[in-house]
Structure 1
Amino acid sequence: MSSSPVVVIGTGLAGLATANELVNKYNIPVTILEKASSIGGNSIKASSGINGASTETQRHFHIEDSPRLFEDDTVKSAKGKGVQALMGKLATDSPLAIEWLKNEFDLKLDLLSQLGGHSVARTHRSSGNLPPGFEIVSALSNNLKKLAETKPELVKIHLDSKVVDIQEKDNSVSAIVYENKDGEEHLITASNVVFCSGGFGFSKEMLKQYAPDLVDLPTTNGQQTTGDGQRLLQKLGADMIDMNQIQVHPTGFIDPSDRNSSWKFLAAEALRGLGGILLNPATGKRFVNELNTRDVVTEAVQKQCPQDDNRALLVMGENMYKDLKDNLDFYMFKKLVQKLTLSQVVSEYKLPITAAQLSQELQAYSSFATKADPFGRTVILNEFGTDVTPETTVFIGEVTPVVHFTMGGAKIDVKAQVIGKNDEPLLKGLYAAGEVSGGVHGANRLGGSSLLECVVFGRIAAESIANDR
């Protein structure tokens, strides 16, 4: 039985889930390496929620769902790419992931929204004033920080520590080499390492290599998201799959004070799931089912909206403010969303229609709660009402497609083991979870499945390590 710590690379939700499960359930020591100077990765910014099928929260709202239906939605969204066994595992373990977060970390996860590509509402978030990613990451990281102080023999956390090499011996992991912020190299002896290092959506170099047509798009990714893990795993001989499958999210906020910034705040999909609609500034009209999959909505924006700046208008009603008050207050504080009357909207955004015509457009959308939407949207929530006038107030922001998520990465199996090109585990003791891995999402990730992937496969990696020690 190995007594060396498990090395977890990365402190996004995948790394935090892996480490918490290892220490809390199996009492296995961990050393966590994070190249940034703070914990959380991109996970801390996730703002729509985490998926789960057949959960207690769904039962509370009388929503009928099943892991099989969730798997079917995932496979459909994946469009023939990825690994269906991993999609099945994601769906099957989803209620366990929600239960684990609620029971182990006292998270409510008591509210739901239905995002694009989902058959039912299954994306969980908590009532309260914290965004889902921040709330979940904070709960898991606080537990580990506490243990690092009280039980340093069980948990060690090294920030500003970039992994530069994985050493192997006899076809097994033997050590990890990392650099601190002063460029000094350190070696940790370890027989197990879990890559949870995230994607490569910030790396222009890797985007140029795998998806050159996306290089000029802005991104929602933090500057740490440069594919270091993918490069190391490729060098080791991992089977890198679907690397050219990169998700462009249709709605990144345009900051009016810095319109050309290459980094954008994400306009969470929950904003559309809970009632937000998209208008084409060139017509002042709706142009797409806002709850189609992200690739389809993105294509509609890019083909139909003004080509010079590729923007759409995200419009939300007063009723929705009650559901997402904290999100909208934050976006308004950042001046990404304004509260305006429809007359002001027409004037401010120079729409080619009158305020009365815009009123009719919003009123027509509201009527689709009782009759078919011509664009095929079936979830009509928080509609604008039947008495919309030019003086009706709405919440509105400009949005544009953004590089958001890299679906490809190192192929893993259902035990979270990294797979080599011979379809066998590459090295004994080598695991991956989260965005660094490939196969879970195929050609298009469903909203709410990134946080879920982190929890499901992080916990699986921990279980596989425990079973093997």
Structure 2
Amino acid sequence: MTKSEFLCADIDDLKNTYDFIVIGSGLTGMTAAIQAKELGLDVIILEKLSNLGGNSMRASTGMNAVETLTQLNHHVVDSQESFYCDTLVGGKGSNDRTLLSYFVRHTESAIEWLAHHNIELDDITSTGGMSKKRAHRPSNASAIGSYLVKGLQKQIIARKIPLFNQTKVLSLLKTDGNVSGVAIEHPKGGKKLIKSKAVLIASGGFAHNYEMIAKLAPNLLNLPTTNHPGAMGDGIKLATSVGAKLIDMDKIQVHPTARQEAGHVYLIGEGLRGAGAILINHKGQRFVNEMSTRDTVTKAINDLHQDGVALVFDQEIRNAFKAVEFYDAMHLILSGNTLDELAEKLNVSSISFSETIRIWNNAQKSSKDVMFGRQTAMERGITKPPYYAIHIKPAIHYTMGGIKINSLTEVLDDKGEPIPGLFAAGEVTGGLHGDNRMGGNSIAETVVFGRQAGQQAAKLILKL
């Protein structure tokens, strides 16, 4: 029996009525379901795919949060105001400021909530565009996505929350203007109607839907995507069918570091640069502040007009970012016992490459990157063999646009009024990130707004 089979309920056990229906089994959906269950609701999770976890399973770096004990334990003094400003600058000032304000004020309690559920994030690293170390992760530096998904799945089992996979939501039901359930289809159970008092859409974005991308950002059609095949925007279609407003739909993020290999696209997590890796061009030279925002790094790569670039690191950096072990298992990494050996494999000048590493190591030691102004993720140089490199290119990664919500996660219509009984959270929504999402914010968003959705559903139904 597989892990998914163990987690998933038998379709014959599906009831006709629940208090709260959650669409999507990623971090947002599981968080909301657990929070709502703890507050007394009868909850169900519906997942259209066989596999669970959605894009959450692919996240590798960390979960941004501020004013936490983890930060203090690592001698990082931070503030909500600084976090707010960094995110606003990264989003080019177009973020929904009400959502952003709620977000930055609730990341600390999100970390505490996870810890209360035996999910400890007691290490931190850096992400691009952040002025402080804020990306929380487990102490073994393992990939944040799978770590959180597995931790929350244990809570789903412990609380006996029914989770039905291979269950596609066909439409939302409405009664007297209120969303009152869903119509579903299951390969064995057929089509059914399930009534509820509230529904949460937590089904993720649309970065695998090239028909939508063609209409919204046709300039990106030549790029592959890091997203799983289920990221088709189904939740957005469900919401608009009952009058929901959409926002920022043309804002689609390209991640600068993805590896394409044998028809697969692998996200090379920002945490590798956060641990100290650098980027070099075909001349063996750095060309950008690697810890700039994703849009800035992507533009710098594109402006080279060459076939991708190389991400370079050493054994110490590898030890600090455990996702590298997965990259190695997938045969994505070049290695050399010396810089000259790695330069030869990269087909770059060994003289230029060695000089680049020398200059970078001096900058790292002095904490002064005169060439490109990098100020974060400089704790490690590139000094300990073996030396490694991964050939990378930009790829479509995240959709900043989606369903318009307020800070209560209520779905809003074209008049800005809540659609009664309908909530949404996570990547399926829009507004929080503005023009450009900052690395580490999406994972934090799933917990912060997932909890909020569970709380608000309970408040609606139980009159708390």
TM-score by length of 1: 0.91
Query: Could you tell me which of 423, 438, 451 is aligned with 2:443?
Result: 451
- Cα distance per residue 1:269-321 (max 9 Å; x no partner): 0000110000012x110000000000000011111140xx3x11000122212
Tell me if structure 1 keeps the 8 A contact 2:40–2:458: no
Tell me if structure 2 keeps the 8 A contact 1:312–1:398: yes
Tell me if structure 2 keeps the 8 A contact 1:288–1:375: yes
SS of the residue corresponding to residue 86 of structure 1 reads helix
Quote the residue 1:58 is aligned against.
71
Q: Distance in 2 between matches of 1:234 and 1:13?
A: 23
Give the Å deviation of 1:182.
Answer: 5.1
Tell me if structure 2 keeps the 8 A contact 1:238–1:418: yes
Alignment of 1:8-407 (within 5 A): 8-24=22-38, 26-104=39-117, 106-128=118-140, 130-148=142-160, 155-181=161-187, 184-255=190-261, 258=262, 261=263, 263-281=264-282, 283-306=283-306, 309=307, 311-324=308-321, 326-340=322-336, 341-351=338-348, 353=349, 355-369=350-364, 370=366, 371-379=368-376, 380-385=378-383, 393-407=386-400
Residue identity opposite 1:53 in structure 2: V
Q: Distance in 2 between matches of 1:253 and 1:143?
A: 33
Q: Distance in 2 between matches of 1:19 and 1:372?
A: 46
Residue identity opposite 2:190 in structure 1: E
Q: Distance in 1 between matches of 2:50 and 2:370?
A: 48
Tell me if structure 2 keeps the 8 A contact 1:81–1:242: no
Tell me if structure 1 keeps the 8 A contact 2:409–2:452: yes
Give the Å deviation of 1:61.
Answer: 1.2
Give the Å deviation of 1:82.
Answer: 3.1
Give the Å deviation of 1:184.
Answer: 2.1
When residues 243 and 277 of structure 1 are mapped into structure 2, their CA distance, relative to the original with a 3 A threshold, is: same
Any stretches of 5+ residues in structure 1 without a counterpart? Answer: 149-154
- Cα distance per residue 1:197-226 (max 9 Å; x no partner): 000000111111111111120110000000
Q: Distance in 2 between matches of 1:8 and 1:287?
A: 45
Residue identity opposite 1:301 in structure 2: I
Quote the residue 2:9 is aligned against.
none
SS of the residue corresponding to residue 201 of structure 1 reads coil
Quote the residue 2:459 is aligned against.
467
Q: Distance in 2 between matches of 1:179 and 1:266?
A: 32
Quote the residue 1:152 is aligned against.
none
Q: Distance in 2 between matches of 1:318 and 1:32?
A: 42
Quote the residue 1:151 is aligned against.
none
Give the Å deviation of 1:32.
Answer: 0.7
When residues 422 and 119 of structure 1 are mapped into structure 2, their CA distance, relative to the original with a 3 A threshold, is: same
Q: Distance in 1 between matches of 2:260 and 2:18?
A: 48
Tell me if structure 2 keeps the 8 A contact 1:109–1:124: yes
Q: Distance in 1 between matches of 2:213 and 2:189?
A: 27
1:431 is aligned to 2:420: no
SS of the residue corresponding to residue 236 of structure 1 reads coil
- Cα distance per residue 1:429-448 (max 9 Å; x no partner): 10001000111101111100
Residue identity opposite 1:124 in structure 2: H
Give the Å deviation of 1:129.
Answer: 6.5
Give the Å deviation of 1:393.
Answer: 3.1
Q: Distance in 2 between matches of 1:292 and 1:172?
A: 44
Tell me if structure 2 keeps the 8 A contact 1:53–1:70: yes
Q: Distance in 2 between matches of 1:414 and 1:329?
A: 39
SS of the residue corresponding to residue 64 of structure 1 reads coil
1:7 is aligned to 2:21: yes
Quote the residue 2:14 is aligned against.
none
Q: Distance in 1 between matches of 2:457 and 2:239?
A: 19
Q: Distance in 1 between matches of 2:217 and 2:341?
A: 40
Q: Distance in 2 between matches of 1:284 and 1:183?
A: 58
Tell me if structure 2 keeps the 8 A contact 1:8–1:32: yes
Give the Å deviation of 1:4.
Answer: 3.5
When residues 273 and 373 of structure 1 are mapped into structure 2, their CA distance, relative to the original with a 3 A threshold, is: farther
Q: Distance in 2 between matches of 1:181 and 1:300?
A: 47
Q: Distance in 2 between matches of 1:330 and 1:88?
A: 36
Instruction: Count the aligned residue pairs.
Output: 441
Tell me if structure 1 keeps the 8 A contact 2:335–2:342: no
TM-score by length of 2: 0.92
SS of the residue corresponding to residue 197 of structure 2 reads coil
Give the Å deviation of 1:81.
Answer: 2.2
Tell me if structure 2 keeps the 8 A contact 1:251–1:399: yes
Tell me if structure 2 keeps the 8 A contact 1:365–1:373: no
Residue identity opposite 2:162 in structure 1: K
